[in-house]
Amino acid sequence: MSDFSVLSEFFRQLEIYAVKTGYPGVFLLSLVGSAIPFLPLPYLFVVVILSGILDPLLLGLVSGLGGALGKITSYLLGRLGYRFLGQERRRSMDALNRLIGKYGAIGVFIFALTPLPDDVYYIPIGMTRYSFTKFMIYSTAGKVLLTVSVAYMGRAYMEVLDMLMNGGPGATIISIAVLVVITIIILRVDWEMLAHYLEKGGVKAVLANLAEILSLRRNKPRVSEPSPK
């Protein structure tokens, strides 16, 4: 059996343990799932499953804390790498630390909050000897916000799924209504215009011109001026 197969089986057993034990198992699963650099393990899947039977807020807090603690390994790997750098490279890393001192926390938070591969940022930022306290604060904030959001969305998904499977005719009517609304939105949106505003000014420009994008308002066509005789 290959090392990867052994790791997969170990993580599968951890998932089973998490489902059986609840919060302690989710914490351990999230910790282990985040601790191995460049090998993200899908602990959020278990968060979604358990969101239907556990409190989403507490579930997200426990999972987020475990995920943030697991990422310490990536940070420490960078700190360890700094010790093996030459004198010139160390000065360069020290200069980079001063440069990112103001905005490094934003990067830590964004990489923790999104599905971006955070190890590609956490290891280098550890190599710059960035403040461990700031790293943990913003990493934990990002992970907790991510996992709490996933837990609440999972709870909503489970409730809708249960309603659709066991709700009878009422669920069918709701399903048809949702389908109609989604279809109307897809057909109503001027996707070319949305892409134009998104590229031009980002989300702010999209929101400012939402009525036009949804075909609720159209700019009056320009009247061409008569050509000079």
Dist. CA 185–CA 21, nearest whole Å: 42
Report d(CA 211, CA 128) in Å as an integer.
47
How many CA atoms lie less than 13 Å away from 147 in the CB half-sphere?
34
Q: Over 154-213, what HEC string results?
A: HHHHHHHHHHHHHCCHHHHHHHHHHHHHHHHHHHHCCHHHHHHHHHHHHHHHHHHCHHHH
| Per-run averaged pLDDT (10 residues), the chain, 229 residues | 63 76 90 83 83 89 94 90 78 71 81 82 85 92 92 78 56 62 66 74 80 66 45
pTM, two decimals, is 0.63
Do the beta carbons of residue 155 and residue 149 sit within 8 Å? Answer: no
| In the chain, domain spans | 3-157, 168-213
Alpha-carbon gap, residue 46 to 12, rounded angstroms: 11
Position 158 scores a pLDDT of 67
Q: What is the pLDDT of residue 69?
A: 95
